């Protein structure tokens, strides 16, 4: 049986395209995440960001792996900061649900793959912090991390650490990626190691210090939107699904 991979979703206002009247709020997950998981042999399960911790607890029992998707800014209160003026939109329900869920996943030793916001959520859940806004808080030269071009289009390079897990998975030490973020990891959490940097020094990839003990991987780019660009992005999804498969087998044993 394919391992079940929970994919976090967001809440989004929608309007009727014909009548242009508000339709209310909808649970939304980009199909690229769902297809990325399914294409890698996993069974994707979209998780609505609602409910209290007991809901997260009930849901986690049915999962073998967790994929933290991209999206809005995380409330800086989760890393002990007040908001700066440049902070973007935050969704309290989503933040609370994901922080509860990732905490439970970490305690269970569940493989967690974080993409964009997801990598940042993973870092904060483990005790790290973020730049709330790179443009106003980064003190050196900065590349364009908020590209205006389509998601499938790579715009800046990432150098991945020689001998790192992600270098092995992608089969290369340099990869050109898309970039859709104005936040980034600031203080790295204990238990994570930086394995990818852009030329300006922004953290673009992290992994667990000991992957055999717990499988954690984070990328700052939208790997799900670049699956057509070559096998290296699909390989990330396959690595996660296969780690989730191992986790399911160990739990069943």
Tell me the catalytic residues. Answer: 116, 222, 224
Nearest approach in angstroms of CB 63 to Mn ion is 28
Q: How many residues bind Mn ion (CB under 5 A)?
A: 2
Give the shortest CB-119-to-Mn ion separation in angstroms. 11
Using the contact rule CB under 5 A, the part of the chain among 23-31, 64-72, 141-149, 240-248 near Mn ion is 141-149
- Give residues with Cβ within 8 angstroms of 199, minimum separation 6: 143, 156, 157, 159
Closest CB to Mn ion belongs to which residue? 179
Choices 18-26, 116-124, 142-150, 223-231; region in contact with Mn ion by CB under 5 A: 142-150
Q: Which is nearer to Mn ion, 133 or 245 (CB)?
A: 133
CB of 202 to Mn ion, least distance (A): 6
Least Cβ distance, residue 223 to Mn ion (angstroms)? 12
Binding mask 172-201 for Mn ion (x = CB under 5 A): -------x----------------------
DSSP β-ladder status, 203-208 and 216-219: antiparallel
* Distance separating alpha carbons of residues 227 and 237, to the nearest angstrom: 9
CB nearer to Mn ion: give 93 or 173.
173
- Give the span between the Cα atoms of 232 and 127, in whole angstroms: 29
State which residue, 145 or 227, has the beta carbon closest to Mn ion. 145
Interface pattern 91-130 for Mn ion (x via CB under 5 A)? ----------------------------------------
Give the E-state strand segments of 101-250 in sequence order: 112-115, 130-131, 156-160, 174-177, 184-185, 192-197, 203-208, 216-219
For the chain, strand residue ranges (E) read 4-8, 10-15, 22-28, 43-47, 65-68, 112-115, 130-131, 156-160, 174-177, 184-185, 192-197, 203-208, 216-219
Q: Whole-number minimum distance, CB 122 to Mn ion, in Å?
A: 16
Q: Which of 145, 186, 222, 227 binds Mn ion (CB under 5 A)?
A: 145
Task: State the DSSP code for 146.
Answer: B
- The closest of 23, 115, 96, 112 to 55, measured between CA atoms, is 96
Instruction: List residues binding Mn ion (CB under 5 A).
Output: 145, 179
């Amino acid at each position: 049986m394919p391992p079940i991979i929970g994919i976090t979703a967001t809440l989004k206002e929608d309007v009727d395209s014909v009548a242009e009247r508000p339709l209310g709020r909808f649970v939304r997950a980009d199909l690229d995440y769902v297809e990325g998981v399914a294409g890698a042999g996993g069974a994707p399960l979209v998780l609505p960001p609602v409910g209290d911790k007991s809901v997260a607890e009930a849901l986690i029992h049915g999962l073998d792996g967790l994929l933290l998707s991209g999206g809005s800014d995380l409330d800086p209160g989760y890393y002990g900061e007040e908001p700066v003026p440049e902070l973007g939109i935050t969704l309290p329900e989503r933040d609370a649900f994901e922080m509860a869920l990732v905490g439970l996943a970490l305690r269970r030793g569940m493989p967690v793959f974080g993409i964009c916001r997801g990598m940042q959520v993973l870092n904060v859940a483990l005790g790290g912090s973020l730049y709330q806004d790179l443009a106003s808080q980064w003190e050196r030269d900065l590349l364009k991390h908020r590209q205006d071009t389509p998601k499938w289009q790579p715009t800046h390079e990432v150098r991945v650490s020689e001998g790192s897990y992600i270098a092995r998975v992608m089969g290369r030490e340099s990869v050109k990626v898309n970039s859709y973020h104005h936040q980034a990891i600031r203080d790295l959490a204990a238990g994570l190691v930086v394995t990818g940097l852009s030329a300006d020094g922004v953290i673009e990839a992290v992994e667990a210090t000991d992957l055999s003990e717990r499988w954690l991987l984070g990328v700052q780019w939208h790997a799900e939107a670049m699956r057509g660009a070559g096998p290296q992005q699909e390989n990330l999804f396959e690595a996660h699904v296969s780690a989730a498969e191992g986790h399911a087998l160990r739990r069943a044993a």
